[in-house]
């Protein structure tokens, strides 16, 4: 298992390096085009500005502006709280122009870049267009379900993996008589790219932590069988949102 995870980590870093493009846009600003895709299937771009104290990494306001233009309002207290919880979990700030940004030094630049990308992916994945044609947060729906079936959980916890990168999990369910500790991630858009990133996260953390990995998939749109197969091969439990009320799923979460 250790050798398998080591190979996965190596391949993941190689994929990141081979598919990252740098472009000088100003004397002290570099544009980073990452291999990660947003919900429009466009590559996520970051901008790095050199400062006397180090570096500032930012999305220049793209993510929050895009969500607003798509009709998602973040004005309510509940939604502002969820947004703040997500960003605080990654140590990301919001600037005056709604940009997501983080300050970094040379020593922690890789981790800060990783945190900003993961925060952008998480915020970009916040909502789903429901059958009633109104926007709602998928993670809100999951949390309401947890409350309904009395799941004991801690929200938004960062855990360091074998690679020394820290990864955030939306929910952690403590160990019980029936199950080991359970680490949970929700996936609103179960695309191949999202799952590949998720596999790295779980493999990296579970290599050094005795826990179960659970993924809750929003299957409002059909979930590709390839996604389910990949999760199963890495010994992760996949729960389709439409099947959340199955007794075995509720037991896995609440027991």
Sequence ranges of the domains in the chain:
19-124, 137-254
How many CB atoms within 10 Å of residue 58? 21
Is residue 173 within 8 Å of residue 211, measured between CB atoms? no
Is residue 139 within 8 Å of residue 126, measured between CB atoms? yes
**Rg from Cα positions in the chain:** 18
What does the DSSP assignment read for 188-236?
SS--HHHHHHHHHHHHHHHTTS-EEEEEEE--SSPPPHHHHHHHHHTT-
CATH fold of 137-254 reads Trna Endonuclease; Chain: A, domain 1 (3.40.1350)
| Tens-binned pLDDT, residue by residue, of the chain (255 aa) | 556 666 766 777 788 888 899 999 988 899 999 988 887 888 999 999 998 889 999 999 999 988 888 777 777 777 788 888 889 888 999 998 899 999 999 999 999 999 999 899 888 876 654 334 344 578 888 999 999 999 999 988 989 998 888 898 999 999 999 999 999 999 887 777 678 778 888 999 999 999 999 999 988 777 888 888 889 888 999 999 999 999 999 999 998
Cα dihedral value 138, 144, 150, 155, nearest 10:
60
């Amino acid at each position: 298992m250790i050798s398998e995870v080591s190979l996965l980590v190596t391949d993941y870093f190689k994929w990141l390096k081979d598919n990252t493009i740098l472009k000088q846009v100003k004397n002290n600003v570099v544009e980073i085009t990452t291999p990660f895709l947003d919900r429009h299937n466009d590559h996520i771009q970051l901008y790095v500005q050199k400062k006397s104290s180090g570096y500032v990494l930012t999305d220049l306001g793209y993510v929050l502006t895009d969500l607003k233009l798509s009709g998602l309002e973040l004005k309510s207290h509940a939604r502002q709280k969820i947004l703040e919880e997500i960003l605080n979990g990654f140590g990301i700030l919001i600037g005056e122009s709604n940009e997501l940004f983080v300050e970094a030094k040379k020593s922690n630049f890789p981790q800060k870049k990783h945190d900003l990308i993961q925060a952008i992916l998480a915020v970009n994945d916040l909502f789903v267009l429901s059958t009633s044609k109104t926007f709602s947060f998928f993670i809100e729906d999951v949390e309401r379900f947890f409350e309904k079936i009395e799941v004991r959980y801690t929200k938004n916890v960062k855990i360091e993996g074998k690679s020394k990168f820290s990864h955030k999990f939306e929910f952690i369910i403590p160990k019980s008589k029936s199950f080991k500790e359970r680490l949970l991630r929700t996936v609103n858009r179960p695309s191949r790219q999202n799952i590949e990133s998720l596999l790295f996260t779980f493999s990296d953390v579970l290599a050094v932590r005795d826990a179960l990995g659970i993924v809750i998939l929003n299957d409002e749109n059909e979930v590709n069988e390839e996604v389910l197969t990949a999760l199963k091969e890495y010994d992760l439990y996949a729960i389709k949102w439409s099947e959340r009320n199955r007794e075995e799923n509720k037991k896995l979460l609440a027991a």
